[in-house]
Amino acid sequence: MEFNGNQTATDVNQTKPIRCIVKLGGAAITCKNELENIDEENLEIVSTQLRQALLSSDKVVGMDWSKRPGISDIACNVTGFRDKLSVDSTNFIVVHGGGSFGHFQASNSGVHKGGLQQPLVKAGFVATRISVTTLNLEIVRALAREGIPSIGMSPFSCGWSTSGGNLPVADLSVVAKTIKSGFVPVLHGDAVLDDVQGCAILSGDVIIRHLAAYMKPDYVVFLVSFVNEEFHSMHFHPPTEPNAVLLREIGEHSLLAIAVGEDGSWSITKPTLQHMNNQVEITVAAHDTTGGMVTKISEAAMIAKLGIDVYIVKAATSHSVKALSGELREKIPDDWLGTVIRFSREEVQ
Amino acid sequence: MEFNGNQTATDVNQTKPIRCIVKLGGAAITCKNELENIDEENLEIVSTQLRQALLSSDKVVGMDWSKRPGISDIACNVTGFRDKLSVDSTNFIVVHGGGSFGHFQASNSGVHKGGLQQPLVKAGFVATRISVTTLNLEIVRALAREGIPSIGMSPFSCGWSTSGGNLPVADLSVVAKTIKSGFVPVLHGDAVLDDVQGCAILSGDVIIRHLAAYMKPDYVVFLVSFVNEEFHSMHFHPPTEPNAVLLREIGEHSLLAIAVGEDGSWSITKPTLQHMNNQVEITVAAHDTTGGMVTKISEAAMIAKLGIDVYIVKAATSHSVKALSGELREKIPDDWLGTVIRFSREEVQ
């Protein structure tokens, strides 16, 4: 992980402390198996929960004054703002994945493998960016309708690039300035330039780790979907047993607690599984160009290693509200369902 | 005009020479009097003309593989790319205005006057960005459908900001890298942060001047609409005559040639107007938050002063094709209709 010449510690530290970084999993806000279809209902619930958990006001002041299909009028209550004396304080960042946006375009052209001199890759790069920025705009609008002062920011336009598909070179000064000005940056997985292979896909999960490392939020929340494939690729493979146990079944129906050591290694502390030796082997689904669950857990462990709690929780549930509000940092209730990944040599409480 | 620490002359010079910068006037591609309505027909013609004039190939290889309203299938001919051995060379930049996008949101909230601590301004900032990025996405898609490898880039995300509403602090390295990688950056007028007044509107015309000054294109083309208000605000006001003559009538129905001196002052060389003394007074229409024609002519003169030809021409006409192709640099045909602004102490040929 590197910074370019424009990045200094001062740039990032000038901003106020970040409360949290929220990842909206692509599968949680889109219909993953239907091409470019947003799960409007889930997106609306998620947006409402973000406002309730992270904005100080209950009053919604809509900030999307653009036309919507099927709705003739623009929703703009200018006079409503005149009574409002102060702006709600916000200090969080949203990063979203692609879900059913971008994957088709990227995987059909091989953008993630690089090779911009090939017409197909170049066209796929353009097509991928169109698809992911379409989703970004819709998410920004959904958040703005809830009164969250959201600002869409594409990693490509921010000048972020990768090297060999891996390490982001990312100037965070624009993100920091955006937060300092009272806005909520909404970033996304994107097709970016790569100084080794020409181009690559920079996943939302890698962005999260980068932001977490340099902006030191109090906690990070991954809002995911359990009904789609997001977790399908992750299995427990106890070496002595032929049958794999799906991790998603544990994470969805009971608390899963993972403790991360100083070296980044991790082990499951809750529930206690018999015959498992805490050993996990992960297989990647072939269609997932961003690495899916492998990336997610690895990145989460890297974040937790920094002393930042990571919660992976089903989006649009009562459990996700608890994770977003930060109350899990004090104590995790017995009835909370989700995964907590926390730096500790001891068992997670 | 300043650069931040990340900007060096090397960054910009690393890119190949820029052939031209094209401004798509907001009124030319939107129905300016209808809120957030794109003039799809004009936009398609403009996109086709850009491909014909600036790409080396006549074959269209569509790069928008996203769903469109009313069209169920994604237009992606992956096999078509396999026969294509090379990528068409491109070296131009597109900048567009807002037209009927963004103006409503900006003027109703006063974003151009600053004051982000006011809830209305803050909300208007979010709403303006949603509106202008919606238009940007549609323009990128229209260009991509014509096979132009277009990449939407928002000035805000690029980290560009203003100071007192005037001077852009703009790092051009991402634009330069984008061109170097064979893409066409598509920028737009945007709401940006301002280090004096909190926020401001950075107009497409100011962006053009900035890009022209540092990227030294061979020529700059402003594609405008004469049927809308864009030119209404500009009049000849001969001091001795009470009746103003609309400049648009000259620019639309005959050649208008303007010569720019070393000090940036300009005078009309064609046609020769009696009793005019070449004196022009300009009034600004109240609704235009970006200064409209005042900005346009002033910016054009600043560009011409650098030795870069500027053509202002009606979009989607045979005359705009001639301007885009660069053939006017050699000789301006007698039947060409439009405005040419050129550095010269002599009469423009």
pLDDT digits (tens, 9 = 90+) for B80-101: 676 665 666 679 999 999 989 9
Tell me, what's the ipTM? Answer: 0.86
- Binning pLDDT at 50, 70 and 90, where does residue B202 land? very high
pLDDT at B277: 47
Are A307 and A259 a contacting pair, CB within 8 Å? Answer: no
Classify domain A9-65+86-343 at the CATH class level: alpha beta
User: What residues pair up with B224 in beta bridges, in sequence order?
Assistant: B314
- A contact residues 213-242, partner B, Cβ 8 Å cutoff: none
- Binning pLDDT at 50, 70 and 90, where does residue B224 land? confident
Q: Inform me whether the C-beta atom of residue A6 falls under 8 Å from chain B C-beta atoms.
A: yes
What angle separates helix B204-215 from helix B292-304, to the nearest 10 degrees? 10
CATH architecture of B9-64+83-343: 3-Layer(aba) Sandwich (3.40)
pLDDT at B73: 64
pLDDT at B226: 64
B270 against B345, higher pLDDT = B270
Domain ranges of chain B: 9-64+83-343
A71-102 burial, b if ≥16 CB within 10 A, otherwise e? Answer: eeebebeeeebeebeebbebbbbbbbbbbbbb
Give the mean model confidence (pLDDT) for residues B55-72.
Answer: 80
Q: CA A114 to CA B188: how far, in whole Å?
A: 28
Q: CA A129 to CA A131: how far, in whole Å?
A: 5
Are B340 and B310 a contacting pair, CB within 8 Å? Answer: yes
Q: CA A121 to CA A119: how far, in whole Å?
A: 6
Instruction: Identify from A61, A66, A139 which residue to disrupt to test chain B contact, counting B C-beta atoms within 10 A and taking the largest count.
Output: A66
- Binning pLDDT at 50, 70 and 90, where does residue B288 land? very low
Contact B130 A64 (CB under 8 A): yes
Are A96 and A188 a contacting pair, CB within 8 Å? Answer: yes
Give the mean model confidence (pLDDT) for residues A121-130.
Answer: 96
pLDDT at A16: 67
Are A126 and B75 a contacting pair, CB within 8 Å? Answer: no
Contact A130 B66 (CB under 8 A): yes
Q: Which of B4, B81, B109 sits opposite A123 (nearest CB)?
A: B81
- Binning pLDDT at 50, 70 and 90, where does residue B229 land? very low
Contact A131 B174 (CB under 8 A): no
**Chain A nearest-CA residue for B117:** A87
Name every chain B residue with its beta carbon within 8 A of the beta carbon of A117. 87
Report residue B61: phi and psi, to 5°.
-115, 100
What angle separates helix A204-215 from helix A292-304, to the nearest 10 degrees? 10
Angle at B329 between CA B247 and CA B16, to 5 degrees: 115
Q: Which of B5, B74, B116 sits opposite A35 (nearest CB)?
A: B74
Q: Inform me whether the C-beta atom of residue B39 falls under 8 Å from chain A C-beta atoms.
A: no
Say which range, A93-97, A269-273, B288-292, has the weakest mean pLDDT: B288-292
Q: Name the nearest CA neighbour of B332 among B273, B272, B269, B279.
A: B269
Q: Inform me whether the C-beta atom of residue A56 falls under 8 Å from chain B C-beta atoms.
A: no
pLDDT at B282: 42
Contact A119 B78 (CB under 8 A): no
CA dihedral sign, ordered B114, B117, B121, B123: positive
pLDDT tens digits for range A139-172: 999 999 999 999 999 999 999 999 987 777 788 9
Contact B6 A181 (CB under 8 A): no
- Binning pLDDT at 50, 70 and 90, where does residue A15 land? low
Residue B302 predicted with pLDDT over 80 = yes
